[in-house]
Amino acid sequence: MKTNSLKYDLNRPAVKKEFLEKVEALAAQGLRKDQIAAAMDLHHETLSIYTASHPEISESIQRGRQKGVATITNKLFKKAKDGDMSAIKYYLNNVDRENWKERQDTTHGGSIGVMTHEEALKQLKGEA
């Protein structure tokens, strides 16, 4: 009985190295588990089932995500070091949020005056 026409034999006790490397590479690109499954011609539930019984798959996904974040963080840091103001601002807003977050001053130091209709008409006519 043929249960699945998968390219990968995940019923084996150990998952093939090529499968784990591809999972890791896709995770490094920021793909979610369902997207990784689709890219590998697997149903997302199939990947979830095998991930539960093969911890090395989860480890590959985690390792890939860490590598992806490290790669992008390094590129952002290099751009910031090279003087890219957008990169500097983004980096500081996220790394040292307490001291560098964007703030909007919403305090008001004066009083608000309300004009009457007549006063507004005089001002518009230049009589005030």
d(CA 117, CA 8): 79
Burial of 98 (0-12, 13-18, 19+ CB in 10 A): exposed
Counting as low any pLDDT under 50, the low residues of the chain are 1-6
The predicted structure's pLDDT at residue 34: 96
Tens of pLDDT, residue by residue over 72-90, are 999 999 999 999 999 999 9
The predicted structure's pLDDT at residue 18: 94
> Per-residue DSSP letters for 29-97?
TT--HHHHHHHTT--HHHHHHHHHH-HHHHHHHHHHHHHHHHHHHHHHHHHHHTT-HHHHHHHHHHHSH
Report phi then psi at 22, rounded to 5. -70, -40
Answer yes or no: are the C-beta atoms of 54 and 15 closer than 8 Å: yes
d(CA 40, CA 6): 9
d(CA 59, CA 51): 9
Tens of pLDDT, residue by residue over 6-22, are 455 555 557 899 999 99
The predicted structure's pLDDT at residue 1: 36
Answer yes or no: are the C-beta atoms of 73 and 30 closer than 8 Å: no
The predicted structure's pLDDT at residue 120: 77
